Amino acid sequence: MKLASPKLETTNLTPNTEALARCEIALQLKDRADYKGALEVMRPLWGGVGQRPNTKGLLPSVAAQVLLCTGILTGWIGSIQRIKKAQESAKNLITESITYYQSESDRKSIAEAQTEIAYCYWREGQLNEARIMLLEALEVLTTPGFTRARALLKLAIVEQSAARYYDALKILIDNTSIFARVPHHTTKGDYHNELAMTLEEIAVADKRPDYFQRALTEYKAAERQFKLASNHIFRASVKNNIAVVLLNLGRFKEAHRQLNAARDLVVRCKDRTRTAQIDITRAELFIAESKFNEAEAVARRAVQSLEKGGQRCWVVDALIAQGIALARLNKPDRAHHILQQAIKIAHEADALNKAGLAALTLIEEVETLTPATLQAAYQQAREWLSEVQSQEVLLRLNSAAGKLATSLRGEMSRDVAIDMLLKPGDLDTKLLEYERELIKRALAQSEGKVTHAAPLLGKSYQGLAHMIETKHPDLITVRTPVRRRGSRKQQSKSAARRKSR
């Protein structure tokens, strides 16, 4: 989608004045989601993501601003374009800007730069680090205004991402007057959008349908502001969020229409990250409609897209949707593997609430879990979700506890229990059972392909195939069908025919 970019007349500008003007216009273009325009404006100073800007000859305060601007653009464009290690590059540039600000004793600019580093941490899913940096910055940014408003908004986003919905709501409501006075359409739109998302989460978490209507009102206010800002990408995000509300209200056709409009906008703007986010919502909508094949395909596409850009929190959301779809397609082993992936990625990103939701979903959706796996999943879900402010999650945890208790009580008959207590264990049988479980998991992970499962177990293809046929014949139905080769003579004839074509 082509946007008219502000023109920069540089004829009578000094190098320092020109650099500051370029930074100002580039950040304006960012607020309109025009990353190509922002790159073009900064081109004389900066070659793009992954490169350091040219600050030679600039005053320290100007060099700091150029480094901050390119750091902000690096994190933003890296997120849109799914560029690996872009957030780390962004943090390095912004950190270098802070060293300049420190030499000038510019505490306000240092705090502003910290809020941008915090946002990079948030994109990576490192919510604790993001929260700490934002709270430190806000201790300095005490004057009501644009900079404090943006820091408060980022903190609300972090708390909402951590499922601390009432903390996020308090930040937004307590500072309504600050956002009302900010003469900046994109920031106002961000405020209404984040407030709507928080109200929506509380509506789901605490069964408050009236909050859905409040959320829709705030979303409409957000879209008006983004339209005034000519920010079509953010308008698309709002439409995606409205679709989530409509999904929760059971208005599926309207939700699909909103997603169609949102996807059209982001595809035209070539924003693959937000396209994948919309696909996650589409997958959740398909699940609500019991269209599980469609849900699994869309979620899988979103996972593949988001993994390329390192968007780990959103990868977890997509994996959870994919795992649910697979479980309801009666593919428990594959669902188990996908949900374990979600847990692992969320844990590595320190997004423990996401890890907890993935573990809870594993308990709810996969019916073939052993009591030990159930216990492990419940124990960690309870720990990781301990700070989540959601009545719905608490009810889900209670239900999971009941499932665990039933599993432990009903695992074996009285006679089997007595035999286990009174007779020595059969080591060979136990080892065989463990071996079977490992092979089953490897086959699930490789979609039944023995060729791919064998290296996971440190076995050759022939060795694993022989183990399945001779020791675990019940797993033959889990693996892909065996392709029998003909005799060497037949193979030679076939090869000769292929060569003659």
Mean pLDDT by 10 residues, the chain (501 residues): 54 90 93 87 94 95 96 91 87 96 94 96 90 96 93 96 92 96 92 95 86 94 92 90 93 96 86 88 96 96 82 88 97 94 88 90 91 84 84 85 70 48 54 74 81 79 86 84 52 37 39
Lookup: tokens for 480? 């892909």
Find the DSSP H helices in 329-460.
332-348, 352-365, 371-384, 391-409, 414-422, 427-445, 450-456
Q: Is 459 within a domain? A: yes
DSSP letters for 143-190: S-SHHHHHHHHHHHHHHHHTT-HHHHHHHHHHTHHHHHH---HHHHHH
Q: Is 20 within a domain? A: no
Number of folded domains in the chain? 1
Q: Are 370 and 341 in contact (CB under 8 A)?
A: no
Q: Count how many Cα atoms sit within 13 Å of the Cα of residue 265 in the half-sphere of its side chain.
A: 22
Q: Is 226 within a domain? A: no
Q: Is 463 within a domain? A: yes
Quote the pLDDT of residue 481. 75
Q: Is 453 within a domain? A: yes
Structural domain span for residue 443: 437-482
Q: What single letter denotes the amino acid at residue 231?
A: N
Q: Any idea which residue has 């292929």 for tokens?
A: 498
Residues 6+ apart with CB under 8 A from 367: 327, 332
Query: φ and ψ at 329, to 5 degrees?
Result: -90, 10
The DSSP output letter for 412 is S
Quote the pLDDT of residue 425. 53
Quote the pLDDT of residue 492. 42
Q: Any idea which residue has 């988001």 for tokens?
A: 306
Lookup: tokens for 370? 């052993």
pTM over 0.75? The answer is no
Q: Is 217 within a domain? A: no
Q: How far apart are CA 216 and CA 290, in angstroms?
A: 25
Helix, strand, coil abundance in the chain, percent, nearest 5? 75, 0, 25
Q: Is 455 within a domain? A: yes
Q: Are 118 and 154 in contact (CB under 8 A)?
A: yes
Q: Is 289 within a domain? A: no
Quote the pLDDT of residue 496. 36
